[in-house]
Structure 1
């Protein structure tokens, strides 16, 4: 942790305030008619996600936290923990599955993920934009349905349900977005 003056805060920085960690979203310096300038800061609580507006005088000091974005390789699941390996040091890092929420099923062995660390502690994880998965179940095409008219329900090998074009059948490998499980294309 390092102290800095309030007027040095910038979007993307992480600070500690009243025992909580916040990401700075935006800041404005406001100069009132008389008196000292103040910094108006919009920030988001990292744990709760709640937004907060806070004002500081320019001379006030705040605690800035060290942040780093690093790539890790997903090794395996250990109960409620995701075990990641640093590709250069081969050190293992354990992260709670809660960090990914409903994107957890898209974590594939050997996948490279981006992890945001604050003071060395993982606080967020980003998956690649898309992943290749096998379709394990797909509804048959309804007679008379045209190829372009509508998507049909399918289940992916990670258990996630999605909608696929009529020509996709069980056993096909398809590319889906990790964000919302939407179909991109057939895997090459």
Structure 2
């Protein structure tokens, strides 16, 4: 599907130079002289390389046609994550390199959406927010200003995030999976 260069967004999968590219960053620039353009940073899904490309506003790019299918997360081993389609009960495995750091946030029976291109799994999309438990956190320091008083904490899945001072070890919190940031206490 052709889209205008001004419609490129972070997370999109584009077909460019005979490869599939995931958009990491995009910036729309309107210089004083000349036409507007989109500066796009992309990562190849096949070769694991990065590319900075400049598209003029008048250009069109090919957005990859992806099939989104819902799956439940089952378990993982040394190299793969295993998922099951809740309708057909078909199981698939996806390499840990494809899932990346999102894999640490996977919990048993978590509903995820997997994007397929020509029946090849490309990416795993988690729900926007997940519940997690604080494993360890530092004690809050008295006298800190409210604006800068976030403290480091380690979650039960091994991820490190910044949390407000009132959060203690053992508390359950909501974490945003897109930015890996604290949202609220449960």
Q: CA deviation digits over 1:30-73, x for unaligned, max 9?
A: xxxxxxxxxxxx997432364598xxxxxxxxxxx873111111
Q: 2:127 aligns to what?
A: 128
> Any runs of at least 4 consecutive aligned residues in structure 1 with deviations exceeding 2 A, and if so which?
11-17, 20-25, 42-46, 48-53, 143-149
Deviation at 1:15, TM superposition (A): 5.9
Secondary structure at the residue paired with 1:124?
strand
Looking at structure 1, the residues matched to 20 and 134 of structure 2 have their Cα atoms a distance apart, in angstroms, of 40
1:10 correspondence with 2:9: no
Residues 114 and 125 of structure 2 are in contact (CA less than 8 Å); yes or no, is this contact kept in structure 1? yes
Secondary structure at the residue paired with 2:70?
strand
Q: 2:59 aligns to what?
A: none
Residues 45 and 52 of structure 1 are in contact (CA less than 8 Å); yes or no, is this contact kept in structure 2? no
TM-score (norm: length of structure 2): 0.69
Residues 174 and 185 of structure 2 are in contact (CA less than 8 Å); yes or no, is this contact kept in structure 1? yes
Deviation at 1:109, TM superposition (A): 1.1
Q: CA deviation digits over 1:118-143, x for unaligned, max 9?
A: 12111111111111110011111112
Secondary structure at the residue paired with 1:100?
helix
Aligned residue-pair number: 151
Looking at structure 2, the residues matched to 105 and 158 of structure 1 have their Cα atoms a distance apart, in angstroms, of 6
Question: Greater CA radius of gyration, 1 or 2?
Answer: 1
Instruction: Check 1:181–1:46 CA distance in 2 against 1; reply closer, same or farther (3 A cut).
Output: closer
Pick from 20, 25, 39: which aligns with 1:22? 20
Secondary structure at the residue paired with 2:82?
strand
TM-score (norm: length of structure 1): 0.68
Q: 1:34 aligns to what?
A: none
Could you list the runs of 5+ residues in structure 1 that have no partner in the other structure? 1-8, 26-41, 54-64
Could you list the runs of 5+ residues in structure 2 that have no partner in the other structure? 4-11, 24-39, 54-63
